[in-house]
Amino acid sequence: MNLLQIRDSGSLSFHDSDVDTVFDVSRSIYERNYDKINTVYRNRFISSELGVVIGAITESQELIDHALASEGKGGQVNMCSALEELKQEGMQEGIQQGMQQGIVANIRTCKNFKISKEAAVKNIMKEFALSEEEANEYMKKYW
């Protein structure tokens, strides 16, 4: 049995182009060399099965989900668009987490300064552009 380490596989050449693609893309993801993926795979589509394998190797559930979703759309994955979507999802997730942390900090500050719940609700509605219902949900959870 041959054991290969993906990160050190740059000098290897595989007879099967799919195996070569899996190693190349996975290695590039581990190295965070997204420019290379963008350059080499910009106009190339890979099968959804290869996308799932790459997602499994790189432990990216989002990439696996993207590849599985593409099966219904012809079974082809464009790695550049897949990584761009993951990047956007990650940014959105970070924004959501940051906003939630800000809301929680705002509620705790209001509570520490003995500001009424009603005033705190109005404050987080204004500061975070939330509806009254959303603000009240946060208050129930963190007050």
Q: pLDDT, tens digit, for every residue of 19-48? A: 898 988 888 888 888 888 888 888 888 888
- Domain interval for residue 29: 6-89
What is the pLDDT at residue 4?
A: 63
- 65 with 107, same domain: the answer is no
Asked whether residue 103 is domain-assigned, the answer is: yes
Q: How many CB atoms lie within 10 A of CB 52?
A: 19
What is the pLDDT at residue 7?
A: 67
**CA-to-CA distance for 75 and 58, rounded, in angstroms?**
20
What is the pLDDT at residue 59?
A: 86
Asked whether residue 1 is domain-assigned, the answer is: no
What is the pLDDT at residue 124?
A: 92
Strands 76-78 vs 45-47: parallel, antiparallel or unpaired: antiparallel
Low-confidence stretches of the chain (pLDDT < 70) are: 1-4, 7, 80, 86
- 14 with 81, same domain: the answer is yes
DSSP the chain: -----GGG-TT---SSHHHHHHHHHHHHHHTT-HHHHHHHHTT-EEEHHHHHHHHHHTT-HHHHHHHHHHHTTTSEEEHHHHHHHHHHHHHHHHHHHHHHHHHHHHHHHHHHTT--HHHHHHHHHHHHT--HHHHHHHHHHH-
- 67 with 24, same domain: the answer is yes
- 60 with 48, same domain: the answer is yes
- 67 with 132, same domain: the answer is no
Counted domains in the chain: 2
What is the pLDDT at residue 34?
A: 81
Residue type, 73: K
- 101 with 138, same domain: the answer is yes
- 14 with 80, same domain: the answer is yes
- 11 with 77, same domain: the answer is yes
